[in-house]
Amino acid sequence: MVDRLKGKVAIVTGAGSSGPGVGNGKAAAILFAREGASVLCVDIVEERALETVAIIEDEGNVASALAADVTRRSECQRMAAAALERYGRIDVLQNNVGIPSRQALPDITEEEWDHHMTVNVRSMVLAAQAVAPHMAAAGGGSIVNLSSIAAVRAYPPTSTAYTTSKSAVLGLTVALAGQLGKDRIRVNAVAPGQVYTPLVAPRLSPEGRQERATSGLIKEEGTAWDIAWASVFLASDESRWITGQTLFVDAGISAAIPGGAPRPPA
């Protein structure tokens, strides 16, 4: 199908990539635009957002960039105002901002804990708070929150703050779905598995990358495009009767028994 988002206006936070390649937010912004949406690409680093916009515009589609810190209410309000000023409405919000952590319980500091909750959870609350009234006034919309397989699996085992924050995203998704459904605003989450993106690339050896790529039931490496296609579905009218749900895009990791099922005796 084409033009699945034709006529819609989408905001994507974290729309740049932290390094060479395509991350989840960048891929979502590009696919939203390919499917007909006008996209506001938001990133705390303007150059990253501009790179995404350049790709979209080179393909003949519509986008613009905005530098904003979405952990601050005033910045989220400015983001919503920019979308309205440039495009006249807001139909889709993709909450993509997030940072990783590998600190175990004995090592995590109060400052690191608070920072992860601020970036990974509060940003989504404030962004949704800023756009929801405008979606409601326009007759509805779709909010897509990026969580992680770490929300339901201890991976990596030491990621205390990251796992907790990504679990909180699932709870937030359900809470917002319950509150905003009356306004025809759907709220869902996408939970990526061990996807290869610029955010994780610097931490992986070739062996580690191969191990991740074959850790699911489907023995192929996932990319940001896999996550973005799930977001396109949840942003589109194809999912008009779906809200409060989490779509795991993880090659089946969430459905598998860790270490594999025990084999019967010979």
Q: Which residues are catalytic, by number?
A: 162
Of 123, 147, 135, 148, give the one whose Cα is nearest residue 42. Answer: 123
Distance CA 99, CA 120 (A): 7
Q: Is 194 exposed, middle or buried (0-12, 13-18, 19+ CB in 10 A)?
A: buried
Distances (CA, A) of 43 to 14, 29, 51, 95: 5, 12, 11, 11
**Per-residue three-class SS string for 143-182:** EEEECCHHHCCCCCCCCHHHHHHHHHHHHHHHHHHHHHHH
Secondary structure letter of residue 32 according to DSSP: H
Question: Do the Cβ atoms of 140 and 185 come closer than 8 Å?
Answer: yes
Give the list of residues 6+ apart from residue 20 with CB closer than 8 angstroms, or none: 198
